[in-house]
Amino acid sequence: MPEYREVRAKVSFLELCKNPDLATEVTVTAAERLGVDAAILFADILLILQPLGFDLEFAKGEGPVIHNPVREAADVDRVRPLADPSPLAYVFEAVRSIRAALRPETPLIGFAGAPFTLACYAIEGGGSRHYEQAKAFMYRDPGAWNALLERLVDATAGYLNAQAAAGAQALQLFDSWVGNLSPSDYARFVQPHMRRLFARLTPDVPVIHFGTDTGSLLELQRDAGGDVIGLDWRVPVDAARRRLGDGVALQGNLDPVVLFAPRDEIARQTRRVLEEAAGRPGHIFNLGHGILPHTPVDHVLALVDLVHDYRRPV
């Protein structure tokens, strides 16, 4: 959005994340301009790594870079516990400010990165294609892996609960890279930690459990926890419903790249997702992952109108 680019021209990404007034401005502007049914906090999943002792930088043209990654078991010992989430107070201040600025009927969603995805960044030192260093660490030293994830679970639980206390009415866990695991590895190395995390979250605050490329993991994710399972675009909504049953809601799952297509194709693809949902309760229409840079804003506006105006064929 041009409004966001104007703000970003004045400050770095981290400066924007850490300025509650600016975070409020970009969050509320996006929600109101696009006419969506909920707002999501402007932040980043990696902010939590800084108070844990990681040297995080968002390098221009490179994305996030961690200059002191975990590479050996001994490195886990320097990952600081986060018993008190107050070093992230700027996030909670932004939540309070956004909640006050939004229309009362517009819910605010808080979020965090899931422990596996945070661990991948912490070990790789940034993004990766195959996550070979993170997975090799996991296989080589399960004890150190579990110790790292335990610290990440503790920190994330406190962080999310503080967002809820500040006014977030729903929470989302982004496990963006967990689709790199086989079902057996997920069950062994991730699911126990996710169960412990969900068990520690504030009761009665709905939680969305999202991963990318997780078609082989959906049942395991459901059993790990969450009120809503987020779907990427690789799994049809109706197939996911048959597999997961009615005990969880579903969120998704239009391919974000569709928003670069002509409007008639956007309409066709949007109707397909809604028809797969079949009007059953417990479906939140969304993209199958984050919106991409340079997405035409008028295409997003058209998408929102398509969903709001949709009437299921009788």
* Domains and their CATH numbers in the chain: 2-230 (3.20.20.210)
Residue 135 has pLDDT above 80, yes or no: yes
> What integer pLDDT is reported at residue 314 of this predicted model?
60
- The percentage of the chain sitting over the pLDDT mark of 70, rounded to a whole number, equals 100
- The percentage of the chain sitting over the pLDDT mark of 90, rounded to a whole number, equals 95
154 touches 115 (CB < 8 A): no
Distance of alpha carbon 206 from alpha carbon 71, whole angstroms: 35
Per-residue pLDDT of 113-127, as tens digits, reads 999 999 999 999 998
Closest CA to 230 of 84, 105, 109, 89: 109
User: What is the token pair recorded at 206?
Assistant: 């709905």
Per-residue pLDDT of 157-172, as tens digits, reads 999 999 999 999 999 9
| Residue 311: band (very low, low, confident or very high) from pLDDT cuts 50, 70, 90 | confident
Peptide bond into 253 cis (omega under 30): yes
The overall average pLDDT reported for the chain is 96
- Those residues whose C-beta lies under 8 Å from the C-beta of residue 111, and which sit 6 or more positions away, are 40, 41, 43, 45, 163, 171, 172, 173, 174
